[in-house]
Structure formats: structure tokens, C-alpha cells
């Protein structure tokens, strides 16, 4: 990822954690990311575009991290994902102050949802599990529940979830 785009996304994450979605402006994102406002607009037209790109970036990064441990223990990998989701500063801020916006990100057919489903499917494949749509959806719903409950510890649910996921055929 280009250095400037990454700086913008990092600035957006810090701004979201500090100000929430409604309180974050393009000016905040540019200043926090250390880029000129014009440069920001060269990459993104609207702040909603920045937020979507940030969510997709965070999901892909989390997917890579989780897949590294999924070979050894899918349950532990899913716990890691849930913990990262529930403790992410921007997610915590949004869940506390603007929880209705979490549902918007999870609407089927959105880019964020598709990226999350792709990452979950790749993780299931990496662990030798069935990555067909129904199983991806179950894992997606389980992980999404930690968007709304930041800070909860998910270990018990992961074991039950993994027990219900069949091996790939």
C-alpha cells in the first residue's frame, strides 16, 4: 500500500478513536495522518470512502494475522480475531457512541462485508475447514457480535463454533 494512503488510513483510525464517526472530519484525518488536505482528496472524495477503506484495510490485516495461527488452532485464531475486533480503539468508540453505524457496515453486498467474508473463507480454507457460504456466514455473525460488545472475552464461544465447522471435503 502506498505510504501516503497508509498515513491517511492511520490518521483516520486515530481520529475515529478520538472523535467517533460524526466528529471526524476530512481536516482531522489529514492533520492526524500528516498529509495535506489536498493530498487526502486525491485519494478519497468523501470521508465515508476513507472509513470504508480503513475498515477493509483493517479486515485484511486481521485476516492475515489470523491465518498465520489458523493452521495450528482455528479456535485460538478466531479468539484472536474477536479480541482484536472488540479491543480496536475505533471499534470501541463507534460501539459506545454510534452503535447503529456498525450495522451499516455489515449489510450484505457492501464492500466491507465482502472483504470480511473473503477473509473468513480464506481462514477456513487455511485451517482445512469447509469454506462454503453457510459456514462463512456463521463465522461472520459470530465475529460481528464482537463489534457490538467490545471488550468481552470470546474463548468459550469459539470452541462451540469450531466444533460445528466441518472439514473441507
- Report the percent of the chain where pLDDT is more than 70: 95
Residue 26 maps to a domain: no
Spatial CB neighbours of 137, under 8 Å, sequence gap ≥ 6 = 117
Residue 5 maps to a domain: no
Residue 141 has pLDDT above 60, yes or no: yes
Residue range(s) defining the domain that contains residue 63: 47-163
Residue 3 has pLDDT above 80, yes or no: yes
Helix pair angle (89-97, 133-148), 10° resolution = 70
pLDDT reported for residue 154: 62
Residue 9 maps to a domain: no
Residue 31 maps to a domain: no
**How many domains is the chain partitioned into structurally?**
1
Residues 83-94: tens digit of each pLDDT: 888 888 888 788
Residue 6 maps to a domain: no
Q: What is the mean pLDDT of residues 98-116?
A: 81
Between CA 121 and CA 168 the distance in angstroms is: 11
pLDDT reported for residue 150: 61
Residue 1 maps to a domain: no
Between CA 117 and CA 137 the distance in angstroms is: 7
Amino acid at each position: 500500500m502506498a505510504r501516503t494512503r497508509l498515513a491517511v488510513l492511520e490518521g483516520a483510525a486515530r481520529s475515529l478513536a478520538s472523535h467517533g464517526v460524526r466528529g471526524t472530519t476530512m481536516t482531522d484525518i489529514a492533520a492526524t495522518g500528516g498529509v495535506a488536505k489536498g493530498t487526502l482528496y486525491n485519494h478519497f472524495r468523501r470521508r465515508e470512502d476513507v472509513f470504508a477503506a480503513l475498515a477493509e484495510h483493517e479486515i485484511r490485516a486481521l485476516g492475515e494475522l489470523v491465518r498465520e495461527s489458523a493452521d495450528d488452532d482455528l479456535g485460538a485464531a478466531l479468539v484472536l480475531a474477536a479480541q482484536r475486533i472488540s479491543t480496536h480503539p475505533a471499534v470501541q468508540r463507534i460501539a459506545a457512541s454510534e452503535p447503529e453505524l456498525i450495522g451499516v457496515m455489515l449489510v450484505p453486498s457492501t464492500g466491507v462485508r465482502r472483504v470480511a467474508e473473503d477473509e473468513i473463507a480464506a481462514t477456513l480454507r487455511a485451517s482445512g475447514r469447509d469454506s462454503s457460504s453457510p459456514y462463512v456466514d456463521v463465522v461472520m455473525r459470530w465475529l460481528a457480535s464482537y463489534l457490538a460488545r467490545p471488550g468481552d472475552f470470546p474463548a468459550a464461544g469459539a470452541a462451540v463454533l469450531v466444533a460445528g465447522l466441518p472439514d473441507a471435503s
